[in-house]
Amino acid sequence: MSQPIDPGAPGAPPRDDDYDVLLAAVRARFALVTTEKQGKAHLFSTEAPALYDAYLEGLAPAHRQLSTCSTCRKFVTTYGGVLVVTPEGKAVPALWDVASAPARYAGAIRALEEAVSRAPVTGVFLSTAPSWGVPATGAWAHLAVTPRDGLVYKPSLLKTASQIVAEKTQDYQTLSRGLDEFPLDVVRNALSLLKSGALAQPEKTIGVAQWLADLHEARAAARSPRVKENLTWLAVAGAPAGFCHVRSTMIGTLLEDLRAGLPFPEIKARLAAKLDPLQYQRPQAAPTAGNIAQAEKIIARLKAEGALERRFARLADLQTLWRPTTAKAEPKKTKGVFAHLLSEPKPGAAPIEAPAVTMTWDKFSKTVLPSAHGIEFFVPASAQSYVAMVTAKNPDAPPIVQWDFADERNPVTWYVYHKGSAPARWNLTPGGFHPVTAVALSPSMWSARRTFANQGNAVAFLLEDCKDTEYSGGAGFFPTFLKSEFHEIRATMEAYAKDAKIEGKDEAEACGIVLTKGGTWNLTFRVTAKDGSRSKYTLDRWD
């Protein structure tokens, strides 16, 4: 299973052109099945025994001795059982395809392809090796492939590849139990209720509900138990953090209540209580000494200490949808010699403004916002959801929030007060219109490449000179914002956030009124057009 690169080397056998074809076919096969089509390609290990022996037995007797090679044996033993799973649940060997194999090797490759296709998946396959196998030793060429960069696992500072593989195996077992415990009809019922808008904060659970329903339906259409297993492994490999732990998440609460046949009002109340912002994913007890010690280790490994220091955001820190149009200054007119003879223009009647037009944010953002030259917010006297945006004090500190990445930095978070706050706290006077300096979506919505549906949808109208005048402490981030690496130390992170202080309160420029999808707003804005005309709009809901 190897041949000399230089057939003229002393003692070298004649060159086998079929072997060159085989090498090319293996590499082409690997490139084909691991090319990203929709999302990331996932690889799986299998329980396929004695593959190299199966390969040798598939060769003609006269060719076996020449094909025996310890380097190629190691390649086949280590990587030969790797496969991919199609969206239909079919197992496809990552390396072997008899249709493209040369005739001399067809029997051997068929044996490998059939053995791997029949073998059960045993786990997610991860490798940190930049090359699979050894392409050449001295003058001899061997079976080897080079995975593209996206297939080479980059170990985190916290977990090795073997630890991630072990976690995925545990996720498979946990998810399998969840699928058995909550059948498709229960999951469909939950999804229907979440889509109806009848339950609190559906964005927290609708993503995992849809994911579970899709997996259930795919498994229901599977032709065999093996295909069901493959589909489950495929789901596990690509699952967002926490999705496989059905029972221990908020969707588990809803599914349990539906399965138990509780009346809808009780189901709604129980879910709302658990999703209360003061309770949801927030530790209710002080961190233990052990949790604090673990937090120190994790922060040190991630070199994330500097990322915990926060400051109030300024407009330059934000990705905005809209900013006011700056009018060009009128050229100063000089008075002529006879200017005093001109009569002063008589003041006309004050323009009459039409009543506010009620519309959704979705319509406003598409039809009004693009041409608006100025926007003002009518400040109600009642408490509202006023927001302050916060960012990392040290811009070079490593990412700690879910939507911040080394290749796409965005450390901005925000905070609001539960049940709202009075306008006076935010340096606003009720009963009049106040200038809007920018319109921005929630920071978790800024990326064009990544989505964070579990964070919900929201838009902020940032207001001139608006700032949290009574702010005294709190770091402006919550456990629900943090990356999964911090999940096990969220009690310590929560305690830290409560005691920390955000810098730059007086320089804050990114505070205003926030409109969150799922609520009813009835907030009024006045929009000035290019010609100076003004119209009022009352935004009542998202869409």
Write out pLDDT tens, residues 487-529: 778 788 878 878 889 999 999 999 999 999 887 899 999 999 9
Do 513 and 387 meet the contact criterion of CB atoms below 8 Å apart? Answer: yes
Q: Report whether pLDDT(455) > 90.
A: no
pLDDT for res 358: 96
Lowest mean per-residue pLDDT among 4-8, 76-80, 287-291, 395-399 = 4-8
CA–CA separation, 383 and 284 (whole Å): 27
- Cβ-based neighbours of 501, under 8 Å, separated by 6 or more: 472, 473, 474, 475
pLDDT for res 157: 67
CA–CA separation, 19 and 399 (whole Å): 48
Lowest mean per-residue pLDDT among 32-41, 117-126, 333-342 = 333-342
Q: Report whether pLDDT(347) > 80.
A: no
- Confidence band of 49 (pLDDT split at 50, 70, 90): confident
Lowest mean per-residue pLDDT among 279-288, 473-482, 531-540 = 279-288
Do 489 and 288 meet the contact criterion of CB atoms below 8 Å apart? Answer: no
- Confidence band of 339 (pLDDT split at 50, 70, 90): low
Give the pLDDT confidence of 298-315 residue by residue, as tens digits.
Answer: 778 777 777 788 999 999
* Of 534 and 48, more confident: 534
Q: Report whether pLDDT(353) > 80.
A: no
The pTM of this model reads 0.72
Q: What are phi and psi of 142, to 5 degrees?
A: -135, 165
pLDDT for res 18: 87
CA–CA separation, 427 and 379 (whole Å): 11
- Confidence band of 281 (pLDDT split at 50, 70, 90): very low
- Confidence band of 440 (pLDDT split at 50, 70, 90): very high
| The Cα angle at residue 493 between residues 488 and 496, in degrees rounded to 5 | 155
